[in-house]
Amino acid sequence: MTSATLHLGDTRRSAISSTALNSSVVAKAVTSALAKLDPRKLTSNPVILTTEVVAALAASAAHPGRGPDHLIVSSFWPATLAAVRERGPALPTGLLVHPSLDATRAAEQAAALGCVALHPFHSRATADLVDLVHGLDMGVVVWTVNEPQDVVAVAVAGVDAVISDRVGDSLAALGR
C-alpha cells in the first residue's frame, strides 16, 4: 500500500510548505534511491546504508525532474539522521517518533539534530505539541492517519501535513 502526504496549511519551514506530494512522486523518490544502491553493499549497518542512500538522493536531487520537488529523509533513529546531515547537509530531515516515546522530548532532540520536521504518531499530536514544534522552527507531519475523525483532530491541532493510506477519505473529512 502506498501512502501520500497531505499538506494542511502553511508551515515555517519551506521544505514542507508546498502543495501535497502525490504517492507516485514519493514512490519515485524511494525507488530512485533504492535502485541506485548496489545490492552487494546493502547491510544492516546504518552508517554504510545511510551513506549509500544519501549519495543516491543527492544525485537524484542534482537532476531536476528525476526526483521529488520536496523530500524529507525520515528515521526513528537519531544517529541515522545525524549521519544523513553529515553526508548530505542540504537534505532535509525529520525525526519519526514512536507512540511510546515522549514527543516533547523528541521535538527538542529533532531541533538539536537540525531537522525540519517532527513526525509524531497522529494520536500524540496536540495543539501544545504543534505550538512547541513550530516555536522550534520545524513542521509537524503526523503518520499514519487513516480514520476521518483522526484527520479532523490533527487538522484542528494545527499539524502541517498528514501521511495517510486513505487520501480520498482524508480529503473528504476535511471538506476538500
CATH of the domain at 157: 3.20.20.190
Residue 46 covered by a domain: no
Q: Are 154 and 145 in contact (CB under 8 A)?
A: yes
Residue 135 covered by a domain: yes
Residue 49 covered by a domain: no
Question: 95-115 as b/e, with b when 16 or more CB fall inside 10 Å?
Answer: bbbeeeeebbebbebbbebeb
Which pLDDT belongs to residue 98?
Answer: 95
Low-confidence spans in the chain with pLDDT less than 70: 1-53, 56-70
Q: Give 129's contacts (C-beta < 8 A, 6+ positions apart).
A: 103, 104, 107, 120, 140, 157
Please count the structural domains in the chain.
Answer: 1
Which pTM was predicted?
A: 0.72
Write 40-45 long-range contacts (CB < 8 A, 24+).
none
Residue of 170, 126, 124, 125 lying closest to 146 (CA atoms): 170
Residue 38 covered by a domain: no
**DSSP H/E element including 74:** strand 73-75
Which pLDDT belongs to residue 3?
Answer: 47
Residue 36 covered by a domain: no
Which pLDDT belongs to residue 68?
Answer: 53
Residue 51 covered by a domain: no
Which pLDDT belongs to residue 90?
Answer: 83
Which pLDDT belongs to residue 168?
Answer: 87
Strand partners, 162: 6, 142
State the Cα–Cα distance between residues 108 and 124, nearest whole angstrom.
Answer: 15
Residue 43 covered by a domain: no
- The 10s digit of each residue's pLDDT in 28-75 is 343 334 333 444 454 555 555 566 667 766 666 666 655 555 678 888
Domain that holds residue 138: 4-19+70-173
